[in-house]
A = this chain, B = another copy of it.
Amino acid sequence: MSIQYILEIIGTFAFAISGALAVNDQKHSDWFSASFTAFISSIGGGTLRDVLLGSYPLVWISDINIIYAIIAGIITTFIFYRFLLRLRKTLFLFDTFGIALFTIVGTEKALQLGVRPEIAVIMGVFSATMGGVIRDMMTNEIPIIYRKEVYATACFAGACFYLLMDRLGAERITAFISASVVIIVIRLLAVRYGWSVPKFFR
Residues of A bordering B, CB below 8 Å: 20, 23-24, 26, 28-34, 36, 47, 51-54, 56-58, 60-61, 64, 67, 78, 81, 115-116, 118-119, 133, 137-143, 145-147, 149, 152-153, 156, 196-201
Q: Is the CB of B81 within 8 A of A201?
A: yes
Q: Is the CB of A152 within 8 A of B30?
A: no
Name the contact of A61 in the complex, choosing from B56, B119, B199 (C-beta under 8 A).
Answer: B119
Nearest CB on B from A149, distance (A): 8
Name the contact of A115 in the complex, choosing from B61, B133, B140 (C-beta under 8 A).
Answer: B61
Q: How far is the CA of A30 from the CA of B64 in the complex (A)?
A: 40
Nearest CB in chain B to that of A85: its residue = B201
A156: which B residues are within 8 A, CB to CB? Answer: 32
Nearest CB on B from A148, distance (A): 9
Query: Which 9 pairs from chain A and chain B are nearest by CB?
Result: A54-B56, A30-B197, A34-B200, A32-B197, A32-B153, A31-B200, A29-B200, A31-B197, A138-B143
Q: Is the CB of A30 within 8 A of B138?
A: no
Nearest CB on B from A71, distance (A): 9
Q: How far is the CA of A119 from the CA of B118 in the complex (A)?
A: 33
Nearest CB in chain B to that of A39: its residue = B122
Nearest CB in chain B to that of A110: its residue = B61
Given contact pairs A31-B200, A78-B200, A200-B33, A26 touches B140 in the complex (Cβ within 8 A): no
Given contact pairs A30-B198, A34-B200, A152-B32, A57 touches B54 in the complex (Cβ within 8 A): yes
A31: which B residues are within 8 A, CB to CB? Answer: 197-200
A196: which B residues are within 8 A, CB to CB? Answer: 30
A52: which B residues are within 8 A, CB to CB? Answer: 47, 51, 58, 61
Q: Is the CB of A200 within 8 A of B137?
A: no
Nearest CB on B from A164, distance (A): 19
Q: Is the CB of B36 within 8 A of A145?
A: yes
Question: What are 22 A-to-B residue pairs whose CB atoms are below 8 Å?
Answer: A24-B201, A28-B146, A28-B147, A29-B199, A30-B196, A32-B145, A32-B152, A33-B146, A51-B52, A54-B57, A60-B119, A61-B115, A61-B119, A64-B116, A64-B118, A67-B118, A81-B201, A137-B137, A138-B143, A138-B146, A139-B146, A140-B142
